[in-house]
Structure 1
Amino acid sequence: MRIGPLREGTFRSALHEPRTAVVLGRWLGAALLTCFLTGLISHVLQQPPDWLRDHLPSRPVNGYRVTQGLHVISGIAAIPLLGAKLWTVYPKLFEWPPARSVAHALERLGIAVLVASMLLELFTGLLNTLQWYPWPFPFRQTHFWLGWLATGGLLLHISAKAPLIGAHWRRVRPGSAQRRAFLATVTAAVGVVSVTTAGQSVPWLRAFVLFAPRRPDIGSQGLPVNRTAAQAGTTTVPADWRLTVTGPRPYELTMAELLMMEQVTAQLPISCVEGWSAAANWTGVRVRDLLDRAGAPPSAQVRITSLEAAGPYAVTEMPAPYARDPLTLLALRVNGEVLSADHGYPARIIAPNRPGVLQTKWVARLEAI
């Protein structure tokens, strides 16, 4: 006996129909593909494969700021779009019989996997912008593979539904007022969540930042801080701190000796994976000058070691294109002030087109490898 939502005629709204689903699907597909491609860029910059490491570009200076900003903006915009899309098609969940054939059962299983992976991908990504991880699995690796699963499932779903999508792709008659009102409401919802969060990476929208986790102009020395010196255990810097640079001609430098070297100022952004970014004027010594003094070859990568005792980015590696860029600095000052402890005193790395997690703070050692 068919009861509840399984009864015929239970869903009476005229919006549970293919044309509305196709229109929403176009918008959602564009948002998800943008999110996926920019996410791949972020993953490659953070963990480049060996064959690509020496070919990663250090320019444009704001490249990562733009791509990661788009990643988070499109991901947040996809949440109301996915909700509207699922509302439009959810009566299909209660079709009778549940499976008409083996092919139909496999199709429904594929849709279940697609929806589950999309929901998990978007909401774990949203919580990542808040730096809240209430789950036992590693976020970055899980987010990466869920992205492939969701995108692959989306492409398979589009292939399976291509005839239906094609039949409703173009509007063949004036749309109903009810559909227009619904789509206008969805558009307004996407616009609101985008405008009120995008200002964390788009400077001209900063005045409208209401719900973004960070305001890029608020924080120590005018910049936000993701990981404080207290969290990293670096509030006390050894009084005899020296920078160690290794290579064919290894050496050490005190702070006074670093300050005697040529000081370069560059305006560069800090661009974090959580989606916020902020530009500042950084002053310090070019990393390539430090490597040249150590006799490192132009092709050398650099291993950077922090005073931070533990943490996933206490040791990072910088490919040669970044290390040799004239804008890549071992920064000692920001916006004319000596670095605060939270911003990496006594010295930190700042490089163009590079994720914020790799702009190592509290630097103790540079090793040419």
Structure 2
Amino acid sequence: MRRGPLREGAFTSPLHEPRTAVVLGRWLGAALLVCFLTGLTSHLLQDPPGWLAPHLPARPVNGYRVTQGLHVISGIAAIPLLGAKLWTVYPRLFEWPPVRSVAHALERLGIAVLVAAMLLELFTGLLNTLQWYPWPFPFRQTHFWVGWLATGGLLLHVAAKAPLIAAHWRRVRPGLAQRRAFLGAVTASVGVVTLTTAGQTVPWLRAFDLFAPRRPDLGPQGLPINRTAAAAGTSTAPADWQLTVTGPRPYRLTMAELLTLPQVTAELPIACVEGWSASAHWTGVRLRDLLDRAGADADARVRVTSLEADGPYRIMEMPATYARDPLTLLALRVNGQVLDPDHGYPARIIAPNRPGVLQTKWVARLEII
């Protein structure tokens, strides 16, 4: 019944077959599973439900750096894997008749939703690493829910295809030479994109960081930034700046008074949702010392308010597990230098195992809750 390039027998490559699809599906499934679990971790650390917030751990120190780095690395690796997988199975889009039964129609509809969700998830995630949002919907919420849709669709697809997957799971002997060459090329492409982008979070791959949007050693005082002081309207701190701390015993401190308090230096990473991270030596006053001075209870939360006039993270709340951690600082210096305005002068929060957007810059107020 069909004519032209989509006629029966038009797809002559021997690689459009189940074994190749199963092998690629295993690799793609592993990448998407890592991407989903680490993305879920990032979402819960950044925007936890109320019941979970008091139980978020401040350790390991590099926890968010590792999980978010893996999230972006596995997401980028999934792009060539998804392309190869779709190329292997796309002739099935043109099978004839297009619908044989209600069950077949539902299966095809499910595959269409799965493919669309995966493409949208990887496309928006990749552009997020560039901080480019050419769409009208909010990225973080959309990315979160489409991730659930893609993962659920993937699990249903695996369940529906389980007999076919089982039949072609083991190595077929003798192997198809074209298959080995094709899978080798896919492996090489995944290796190249990983090697040339993972350096933005993996220090020992930094020399190969050719295509990642960030280098972790470039920026003011040798650290990258996402939001500049100019963008936040905080390029010049008020001449009469004081830190306001509210609680049972409220008080204010000038910069000179802050500098007379015990200063602590800690090596902590800045790790951002876009996948880049960098470590630095931060010096300042332990947050718990400031809270104790205000008479805070041991389980009190802290609301931190920035000098910036607007922005989704102008106000940040910190659970007691972070606020009481000895490594959580109100930082005044980085790498031995007074904070650059782009890094939060006059003061900023730095805490272990926290997303970068919650490491509030240009701090003006600490409120004990």
Q: TM-score, normalised by structure 1?
A: 0.99
Query: In structure 2, what is the equivalent of residue 133 of structure 1?
Result: 133
Query: In structure 1, what is the equivalent of residue 220 of structure 2?
Result: 220
- Give 1:171 deviation, angstroms: 1.0
- One-letter code of the match for 2:293? R
| CA distance in structure 1 between the aligned counterparts of 2:313 and 2:95, rounded to whole angstroms | 50
Q: Deviation above 3 Å: which 4+ runs of structure 1?
A: none
Query: In structure 1, what is the equivalent of residue 295 of structure 2?
Result: 295
| CA distance in structure 1 between the aligned counterparts of 2:168 and 2:181, rounded to whole angstroms | 19
Report whether the alignment pairs 1:38 with 2:38: yes
Report whether the alignment pairs 1:121 with 2:121: yes
Point out where structure 2 has 5 or more consecutive residues left out of the alignment: none
Query: In structure 1, what is the equivalent of residue 66 of structure 2?
Result: 66
Query: In structure 2, what is the equivalent of residue 339 of structure 1?
Result: 339
- Give 1:292 deviation, angstroms: 0.4
- One-letter code of the match for 1:319? P
Q: What does 1:8-27 correspond to in 2, within 5 Å?
A: 8-27=8-27
Contact 1:65/1:201 (CA < 8 Å) preserved in 2? yes
- One-letter code of the match for 1:232? A
Report percent identity of matched pairs: 85
Question: Which string of whole-angstrom CA distances, capped at 9 and with x for unpartnered residues, describes residues 199-256 of structure 1?
Answer: 0000000000000000001110000011000010101211000000111111100000
What is the SS of the residue equivalent to 1:292?
helix
Query: In structure 1, what is the equivalent of residue 157 of structure 2?
Result: 157
- One-letter code of the match for 2:29? G
Q: TM-score, normalised by structure 2?
A: 0.99
Point out where structure 1 has 5 or more consecutive residues left out of the alignment: none
- One-letter code of the match for 1:36? F
Query: In structure 1, what is the equivalent of residue 254 of structure 2?
Result: 254
Report whether the alignment pairs 1:145 with 2:135: no
Query: In structure 1, what is the equivalent of residue 236 of structure 2?
Result: 236
| CA distance in structure 1 between the aligned counterparts of 2:137 and 2:8, rounded to whole angstroms | 42
- One-letter code of the match for 1:211? F
- One-letter code of the match for 1:285? V
Query: In structure 2, what is the equivalent of residue 320 of structure 1?
Result: 320
What is the SS of the residue equivalent to 1:199?
helix
Query: In structure 2, what is the equivalent of residue 195 of structure 1?
Result: 195
| CA distance in structure 1 between the aligned counterparts of 2:245 and 2:4, rounded to whole angstroms | 72
Contact 1:39/1:71 (CA < 8 Å) preserved in 2? yes
- Give 1:5 deviation, angstroms: 4.2
| CA distance in structure 1 between the aligned counterparts of 2:155 and 2:337, rounded to whole angstroms | 51
* Matched positions, count: 369
- Give 1:43 deviation, angstroms: 0.2
| CA distance in structure 2 between the aligned counterparts of 1:90 and 1:279, rounded to whole angstroms | 45
What is the SS of the residue equivalent to 2:197?
helix
Question: Which string of whole-angstrom CA distances, capped at 9 and with x for unpartnered residues, describes residues 238-295 of structure 1?
Answer: 1000000111111100000000000000000000000000000000000000000000
Contact 1:6/1:96 (CA < 8 Å) preserved in 2? no
